[in-house]
Structure 1
Amino acid sequence: MRRILTRAGSVAAVSMLALALGQPAQAAQPAEGDTVSAAARATYFEFTDGTDTFVIKLTDPAKIRQARNILSGADTEHRGVMGTVVKTPASYNKPWTYHLDPNSVQFFGMAMEVCDASIAYVDEHLDEVGGALLPRSTWCPWQSKLTRELPRP
């Protein structure tokens, strides 16, 4: 009887070890309450409006996950990119003289006409953004489509 219990315990231990080793590795995620700088978790994505390309920076883990789901085809409802125009260039978004506030970026399926404009048109008329062009500086190019995730600059 003693030998049977020892063997059963050994089989259980080996099974648990195999199960634990067979699990996929998980990326280290900050525990709730841990602070990780936005720069440390920044992820960059490129989108096109059918003519030009534009780079956005995301720092919110949920938005990063959503962007990856869009690229993988898991999310087919939210293909467009929307956000608040910041009238200064960003090093990761050359040659454009503006960028989107990373905290404002959203993905959409449908949007109002008042926020639609091409990448180049916004750049050419940047002084008008926030007024008659793109009220509240909200930009939602209807033809926008995420194309890829970029390596960190």
Structure 2
Amino acid sequence: DSIKYAKEGGMIAQAAMSISYSKVHTVEYFTKLADELIEAGADELCLKDMAGVARPAWLGEIARQIRAKHPDIPMTYHGHAGPGFQVATILEVCRAGVDYIDVGMEPLSWGTGHADLLTIQAMLKDAGFDVPDINMKAYMKVR
């Protein structure tokens, strides 16, 4: 119902799939869930790894399968640094076709927060992605 109410209110309905890594939470489980959410009217999907436990290749495969089946649905990766998989996971989901990545900036990045903006920007640029340069003067001013 929340998707319906969001759309009735003129909002974009982004459905967040809270990622967990277990025997029950498989690639098939999440790709089927994505199908159901899109069928219910979701305008966007968010792969939400709130604990930072998603294995990089595994979440990349989930994103890859969703992208193959739903090439036009915007996807976001929202992950926390937690156990340390996050930077590798970001690279994998970007290679799989995720459109947006939630990042943080120091002093709020790392720890249990998001990966740092400067790290991710440099990594994606080095990996061949078309990412904009960062205005370091403005960055340092707001930091």
Q: TM-score range by the shorter chain?
A: under 0.3
Greater helix proportion: 2
Q: TM-score, normalised by structure 1?
A: 0.21
Q: Which has the larger radius of gyration?
A: 1
Between 1 and 2, higher relative CO (CA 8 Å, sep ≥ 6) is seen in 1
For normalisation by structure 2, the TM-score amounts to 0.22
Q: Which has the higher strand share?
A: 1
